[in-house]
Chain A
Amino acid sequence: MSDIVIQVESLSKVYRLGTTGTGSLRQDLQRWWTSSILRKEDPFFHSPGNETQRHGKNQLFKALHDVNFEIKQGEVWGVIGSNGSGKSTLLKIISRIVRPTYGTVRGKGTISSLLEVGTGFNPELTGRENVYLSGFILGMNKLEVRQKFDEIVTFSGLERFLDTPVKRYSSGMYVRLAFAVAAHLEPDILILDEVLAVGDTEFQKKCLGKIKEVSHAGGRTVIFVSHNMQAVANLCQQALWLNQGLVQEQGVADKIVNKFLLTTQQNVIKQRWDNPLEAPGNEFVQFQSVELVPHLLTDKMPLDVRVPFTVRFRMKNLVDKSLLSIHLGLYTSSGDCVLTVPSAAGVYREGMLAGECTIPGNFLNDGAYYISLYVLAGTAPVYDLESCLTFDLEDYRGDESGWKGKWWGAVRPLIPFSVALQDPVLY
């Protein structure tokens, strides 16, 4: 087993909203006078909601509550969770910016954190000077920056602009240079917060590649916070899911990401609009219902990869003799299109249309999916019913193999694959 490089033990961070001060001496004195001498309510603080709790006279906000985990050498961890779940607070504590209220973090080796792109950059200085200064701030020494300088410049692709003040850079150039410096840090542990949300697609790819390279080739440990679930699932082996300061779950990244996505979007397998005013549609068509019917053998069987299911919909055609065709789009929860199925085009009279399309079992891979319906007249789009059904296909493997890791690919059809012994091996 590899070594543990970071151990987080019952870590909590409590922000004391009431007593940290109001930022002005006059107000603090006034508050002290009213609350301590006159024993009245704090005039400057009103409870914002239910996530705070009353503790004596002070308002406490638990940004993190009893967080425990251990990270081993060379692992890439993703930290996920909705806004305000404590992800950034956790990173700030590990990178020594704020102190925890309770608990301990222990670790081995040097640590560098990148909580924003361009920390320590000064717009007045030239690119060259900023590379040095920002390198120093991030913890490199002069020799390291000098050795890496050419590499950093090449990575950023800004050779020609090095002696221009960065305030004249475009924002993309600025970010590229800043990330280039950061990417060439060589700490044992690297902490990244949402830095991939910048730059163009090509540059993002470059960044992702760099992170992979750092963790795989360099054997370095990376902690990575992102709202981009695809990136977390791709880059990270392990994930930590925080929910309102508590660890909801930790484990293999793909699984955690899937579970997290599921809670953020509820399964919708049936929708019906009885009131025509509320029904989705326009002057050409109007939907009445859409539903997903799994062909389950028993009631208690979960909807898993073996089960065929039928998508049924009812739709009013409001224009006589229109040439209509309905397309069904099946997407993974992250928005990649798995397939589209067009119905044959037909000329329909005014009235109710009913349609159904069956997706076979043993065809899709496990995961979360959604379905959209598109109505076309000829080739012109008439109406799009986006993500009207969302559902989750559970994994099912039987027990033919012991392997329980993620089954790769968007689909998992039963394709015959036979291997047989034909001739005895003689050599």
Chain B
Amino acid sequence: MVTKKNGTWDWEIVPQTTWLGVSLSELWSYRHLIIGLVRRDFLLSYQQTVLGPLWMLFQPVITLITYVLVFGKLVGISTEGIPPTLFYLTGIVLWNLFNDSFLSTCSIFRDNVQIFSKVYFPRMVIPIAQMMSQLLRFAIQFFLLCLITTYYVMFTAWTAPTSLQITAIPLIVILIALLSMGLGMTVSVLTGKYRDLSYIIGLGIRLLMFLTPVVYPINYVEKKWRWIVQLNPLTPLFELFRYVLLGKGLVTPQQVVYSVACVGVVLVVGILTFNKQGDKLIDVV
């Protein structure tokens, strides 16, 4: 028998699972797979439909009409001088990004068990591809938001804020996407193991929406209860998004730093859990 020194091997499979799971260079070598998966998701959602990608706009528009009627007309929540359509649409578009990206990441292990048990690739590829798919959808919905804003600026008395800090928008979007991915990856490990958690999650995310200023401005919340809403790391990001786009929003730099820190922690926990536990999960799913 020929014995070899350890150094001469290209790879080694050992019982221990790693926390990081995958090196960036390995992930980079799978970039085509990520793009392929994003493409697949996009094509699949609208295969054999009449409206095609227009469906991406259909859902926010219907939601928008509902919110304007229910929260604007019936409940009568003040939008602080902003046209209700714009106010609700900013909230809806950003919330959709968080909601969809979180929910699709949640069920990664359940949805992909067929592939995971048959072929190896870095598992991180899937959540990254999911996030990118959702960002693509967001971009399309955001385009609609831009169109409607332009309409309001040109044809109504409403004027857009003069100092647009557009650079903040991509940052907010990426922070929200990362937060939902980190949270989703942690939860995906749990739902992989415990199927019944997925019911709680659907409920939880709906409740979370009401703790986030989606359908109301933070100003609308009574001062003594405001801290509860502000504990939610999404709140400063939503307020900042509205402030940048529509000129109204209640947010301090400290709150934004708090959000960024939360995103960082959630993302690190998510990645580590996903890699460490996900490896073992294949035996169980």
Contact = CB atoms under 8 A, between A and B. Distances in A.
B9 A106 contact: yes
Given A24-B195, A97-B282, A98-B282, A133 B119 contact: no
B283 A24 contact: no
Interface residues of A, number: 50
Q: How large is the interface on B (under 10, 10 to 19, 20 to 34, 35 or more residues)?
A: 35 or more
Interface in A97-143: 97-109, 111, 113, 115-116, 119-120, 122, 124-125, 129, 132-133, 136-142
A324 interface: no
Contacts of B32: 136, 140-142
Contacts, number: 120
A233 interface: no
Given A24-B194, A141-B32, A107 B115 contact: no
A96 interface: yes
A21 interface: yes
B81 interface: no
Contacts of B121: 137, 139
A136 B196 contact: no
Contact of A108 (B6, B9, B116): B9
B12 A104 contact: yes
Nearest to A100: B15
Contact of B196 (A25, A109, A116, A140): A25
Contact of A137 (B13, B17, B47, B115): B115
A99 B279 contact: yes
Given A95-B119, A116-B118, A138-B119, A15 B15 contact: no
Given A97-B120, A99-B280, A119-B118, A107 B15 contact: no
A162 interface: no
A93 B119 contact: no
Contact of A107 (B6, B11, B44, B194): B11
A94 B119 contact: no
A195 to B, nearest CB: 11
A7 interface: yes
Nearest to A130: B40
Contacts of A21: 193-194, 284
18 contacts: A4-B4, A24-B196, A26-B196, A95-B119, A99-B14, A99-B17, A99-B279, A106-B4, A106-B9, A106-B13, A108-B8, A109-B10, A119-B115, A119-B119, A129-B40, A133-B40, A137-B119, A137-B121
B24 interface: no
A395 interface: no
Interface in A137-166: 137-142, 165
A122 B4 CA distance: 43
Interface string B119-132: 11100000000000
A28 interface: yes
Contacts of A70: 1-2
A20 B277 CA distance: 12
Interface in B39-71: 39-40, 43-44, 47-48
Given A108-B10, A137-B121, A124 B47 contact: yes
A105 B283 contact: no
B163 interface: no
B119 A115 contact: yes
Contacts of B2: 1, 4, 70
Given A21-B194, A119-B114, A124-B43, 16 more contacts: A23-B193, A24-B196, A97-B118, A98-B282, A100-B13, A107-B9, A107-B11, A113-B119, A119-B119, A120-B119, A122-B44, A125-B44, A129-B43, A132-B36, A139-B121, A141-B29
